[in-house]
Amino acid sequence: MLILCFILIASFTTTLMACSCKGFHPQEHFCQDDYVLRIKVVGSLKVDRSDETPYTPGILRFEKIYYPIRIIKIYKGNISGLTHLKPLRRHSNKVRYISRLYVPSRISSCSLSLTKTRIYVVMGQIHQGVLHHGLCNWRSTWKHITHAQLNGLKKHYAKGCECSIRTCPTREWCKKSQLPTECRWVSNDGFGVSQCVDRWQVCRYNRISRSCKWRQREHPNFKKCVNQVRWPKKLENS
């Protein structure tokens, strides 16, 4: 019985470790990933059976699954070589595309779920002509994208890719000496301020001084966000 409990605990711990994602600023994801797209999920989750191997009893088989998507906007990446790509033109001069977004198998402990008809900004990798999007890749519903994030997606994130955003475990660690080309970001400060940095801050590179710095520190929306997460009850009663 003791051995069985140990196995169950070990299995549960392994599952948690396998799916734990380190907190990264969206600008880091933008610079590191192959593609950044605004998409609309146009269908329910489907199984790709194009190269499915015969089922063998007793052997765990991970399905290749995907969401049918409409690509609305390309912020980064070359999608011309995608295996599943169909141009779609509707009521405008803008060409949009129908494609597939492959996600982790449903039997994987790191599976994820997207909502049909909802619009997202997603980032991820392109492998063998296929868009891959995992649990730890960055995503956000379109309605929750802030003005600062939108400007970042359009131009500022790319301009800041010469910078290094150092993710710190604590505020005290962040205060230590840092490189000129580095912006520091506390992934979990205990107050939730990290979400404000995520939503309102951009790390910009200055070519003259060859240094990097957060550029939206004085943005009123950033200050408002910080106040809301630090003193929510005080603001509610004011």
Mean pLDDT, residues 18-39 taken together = 90
Instruction: For the chain, give the percent of residues with pLDDT over 90.
Output: 51
What's the confidence (pLDDT) of residue 127? 95
At 159 the pLDDT is 94
3-state helix, strand, coil in the chain (%, to 5): 30, 30, 40
- Cα 163 to Cα 214: distance, rounded to the nearest angstrom: 10
From residue 227, give the alpha-carbon distance in Å to each of 25, 125, 183. 20, 36, 22
* pLDDT at residue 71 greater than cutoff 70: yes
Question: What is the pLDDT, as a whole number, of residue 131?
Answer: 97
The pLDDT, as a whole number, for residue 191 is 61
pTM recorded for the entire structure: 0.81
Contact 95, 88 (CB under 8 A): yes
d(CA 186, CA 61): 39
Q: Which helix (H) or strand (E) holds 138?
A: none
What per-residue confidence (pLDDT) applies to 14? 40
> Do residues 167 and 137 lie in contact, with contact meaning Cβ atoms separated by under 8 Å?
no
More confident residue, 77 or 176: 77
Q: Note the pLDDT of residue 22.
A: 78
Contacts of 127 (CB under 8 A, 6+ apart): none
Residue 48's region, left for phi above 0, alpha for psi from -120 to 50, else beta, is: beta
Segments making up each domain of the chain, as ranges = 22-48+64-144, 162-231
pLDDT at 55: 52
For residue 116, the 8-state DSSP code is: T
Q: What is the pLDDT of residue 147?
A: 93
Q: What is the pLDDT of residues 5-21, one digit of tens each?
A: 433 333 333 444 457 78
CA angle 85, 89, 95 (to 5 degrees): 65
What local confidence, expressed as pLDDT, does residue 1 receive?
A: 46
Query: What is the Cα–Cα distance from 93 to 174, expressed in whole angstroms?
Result: 48
Query: Is pLDDT above 80 for 59?
Result: no
Q: For 41-69, give one letter per residue: b (16+ CB within 10 A) or e.
A: beeebeeeeeeeeeeeeeeeeebbbbbbb
**What pLDDT is recorded for position 91?**
61
Comparing 24-38, 52-66, 101-115, 216-230, the range with the smallest average pLDDT is 52-66
pLDDT score, position 195: 85
pLDDT in tens, 170-220: 777 877 767 899 998 776 665 677 888 889 999 999 999 999 999 866 678
CATH of 22-48+64-144, one of 2.40.50.120, 2.60.120.460, 1.10.3470.10, 3.40.50.2300: 2.40.50.120
The three-state secondary structure class of 136 is coil
